[in-house]
Amino acid sequence: MTNTNLLNIAKNAMKKSYCPYSGFRVGAALLCEDDIVFTGCNIENGAYSPSNCAERTAFFKAISEGYTKFEKIAIVGGHNGKFQNFCYPCGVCLQVMNEFCDSDFLIILIDENNNIIEKKLNCFLPFGFNL
Ligand code: THU
């Protein structure tokens, strides 16, 4: 699965975002072993704290379906679905990745000029907490 394909899947997932409070749509596409992809979008809540990020939606869908080997994730996001800057994953999502992924798990991001970042998880979170 190429990064471009995975980013396109993430862009489609972004359309499903439920974000009436922030207006910030995020989509994620998580590549598991055997070329299986799980998508995710952010899902907000009027009580705010029950909201879930797109990345964690994708991870929790995959894990709850029995997929636990992960290669890479593509993430896109922006106000009203127009992505401009890279949508870096938040610290909570990085910690979830730290729980389930090796340090060479790849995070792929794109900006409005089609610049692509592909970096390892340990670049974003070099000292993740582990029990
Ligand atoms: N959001 C994500 O889905 N992923 C991130 O990595 C950062 C933020 C969502 C949460 C919220 O619904 C909206 O973006 C604005 O913070």
Task: Enumerate the domain spans of the chain.
Answer: 3-124
Report how far residue 55's alpha carbon sits from residue 43's, in angstroms, rounded to the nearest whole number.
Answer: 11
Report how far residue 27's alpha carbon sits from residue 103's, in angstroms, rounded to the nearest whole number.
Answer: 22
pTM of the model: 0.97
- Closest Cα to atom 2 of ligand 1: 53
CB of 122 closer than 6 A to ligand 1? no
Number of neighbouring beta carbons within 10 Å of residue 39: 20
Q: Which position has the token pair 């994730």?
A: 73
Which of 85, 73, 53, 78 is closest to 118 using CA atoms? 73
List pLDDT tens digits, range 8-29.
Answer: 999 999 999 999 999 999 999 9
Query: Residue 81 — pLDDT band, cuts 50, 70, 90?
Result: confident
DSSP-assigned beta bridge partners for residue 72: 31, 106
Which CATH superfamily, name and number, covers 3-124? Cytidine Deaminase, domain 2 (3.40.140.10)
Query: Residue 72 — pLDDT band, cuts 50, 70, 90?
Result: very high
- Closest Cα to atom 10 of ligand 1: 53
